[in-house]
Amino acid sequence: MLGISYVKAPPSTHVMLFRGGQPVCEGAGLSFFYFSPNATLVQIPLASIDVPFVFNEVTADFQDSTIQGELTFRVTQPGKLAKILDYSTDPWGRYRSEDPAKLNDRLVHTTQTLARAFTLKKTLRQLLVSSDELVAQVFSQLAESPAVAMLGVEVMNLSVLSIKATPEMAKALQAEAREKLLLEADEAIYARRNTAVELERQIKENELNTEIAVQQKQRQVRETKLAADIAIEQERTNLVDRKIDNERKESQAKADALKAMLDPLKEVDWRTLLAAAPGGLNANQMIALAFRDLADNAEKVGNLNISPDLLSTLLSEQDGTGTGEKQVRSRRNR
C-alpha cells in the first residue's frame, strides 16, 4: 500500500536493492520493506541448476551425431551476473525480462561450441565410444572459459547421457558390428569344431600309438620266444654236432685201432692167417683151399679127377645129415 513493499528471500537467493542506480543493500536470505516506486529489486538464485541439453554436431567424416547431456552450475558472483543480465523483479517477485532464461542458453551454447571442437576431430565411430573423453575435455575447458567466468557462475558438473548417430548410420554400424560379431561367432564355432577334430585326432593317434605299442610288445614277445627256440635249436645242433664229432672220433679211433691191428697182417698170406686162426682148418676148409688154388691155376691144369668118395664126403659134411652120401650111392647103383 502506498508503494511500500516487503520482500523475504530464502537463503538460496541473493537479493540486491538498487536506488538511484546504486546498490542500497544486498545479501542472501534478506527480508525488508522498501519503497517500490523509486527502487529496483534484483533476486538471483544461488542454488545449483541442472540444465539439460541436446544438440547435433557433425563428425570428422561428415556424419551427423546427436549429443544429449546435462550441465550443472551455480552462481558464485551475483554482482557480475546482475551487470550482464537483468534479474530485476516486480513487487510480486516476477522477473521483469527474459534474461534469467538466457543464462542457461549461454552456458549450453558455450558447451556446444566446445563439444563441436571435439567432434570435428573424431569420426562417427570414434565419437560413439568417446563420451568419457568428451566430458573430460569440455568440462576442463568450461572451467577455464572466459565467457563462463564473465557470467560469474561455476560449472559444477557435466554429464553426457548419450551420443547417437542417425538411424540410417546406426543401422549401418549395427549391421557392421553384427556381421563382425557373427563372424567372430562363426570363428568361435570353427575353432570349437577344429578343437574337437584336433582332440578326436589326438584320441585316434593315442589309440593307434597304444595299438602300435601293444603290437611291438607282442612282437618282442614273439621275437623273444623265437630267440629262445632258436637258442634251443642251436643247442640241439651243437649237441648233435658234438655227438657226431664224438661218434666220428670214436669211429676214427676204432678205425685207427683196427688199422693198427691189420697193418702188420697186410704182408701175411691169407692162407697163413686162416691156418693161424683159432682151431685151425678142418678137412673141408683145406679141400676148399685146394680147389681155390686149382681154380687160380686152371689154365695150367689139364684134367682133374675127383673120386666119388671125396665128393660124397664133401657133400655129407655140407648138409650134416648124410643125404649127399646117399645120393652118391644111389647114383653109383644106377
Same domain flag for 274 and 160: no
Does an H or E element contain 71, and which?
Answer: strand 64-75
In the chain, the number of structural domains is 2
Sign of CA dihedral 16, 22, 24, 26: positive
Q: Which amino acid is at 324?
A: G
Q: Count Cβ atoms within 10 A of the Cβ of residue 212 and give its class: 0-12 exposed, 13-18 middle, 19 or more buried.
A: exposed
Domain interval for residue 47:
4-165
pLDDT in tens, the chain (334 residues): 567 888 888 888 999 998 887 888 889 988 888 888 888 889 999 999 999 999 999 999 999 999 999 999 999 999 899 889 989 888 888 888 888 989 999 999 999 999 999 999 999 989 998 999 999 999 999 999 998 999 999 999 999 999 999 988 888 888 888 888 888 899 999 899 999 999 999 999 999 999 999 999 999 999 898 888 888 988 888 888 888 888 888 888 888 887 777 777 666 665 666 666 666 556 666 677 777 776 776 666 666 667 777 667 766 655 554 444 444 444 444 4
CATH number at residue 31: 3.30.479.30
- Residues 12 and 127 both lie in one domain: yes
Q: What is the DSSP string of 135-204?
A: HHHHHHHHHT-HHHHHHTEEEEEEEEEEEEE-HHHHHHHHHHHHHHHHHHHHHHHHHHHHHHHHHHHHHH
Amino acid code (one letter) for 132: D
Query: What pLDDT is recorded for position 272?
Result: 67
Confidence (pLDDT) at 53: 94
CA 181 to chain centroid, in Å, comes to: 24
Cβ–Cβ under 8 Å, residues 135 and 109: no
> Which pLDDT value is given to residue 334?
42
For 322: left if phi > 0, alpha if psi spans -120 to 50, otherwise beta; the answer is left
Domain boundary among 137, 165, 193: 165
Residue 245 lies in a domain: no
Choosing from 148, 165, 182, the residue where a domain stops is 165
Got the DSSP string for 219-238?
Answer: HHHHHHHHHHHHHHHHHHHH
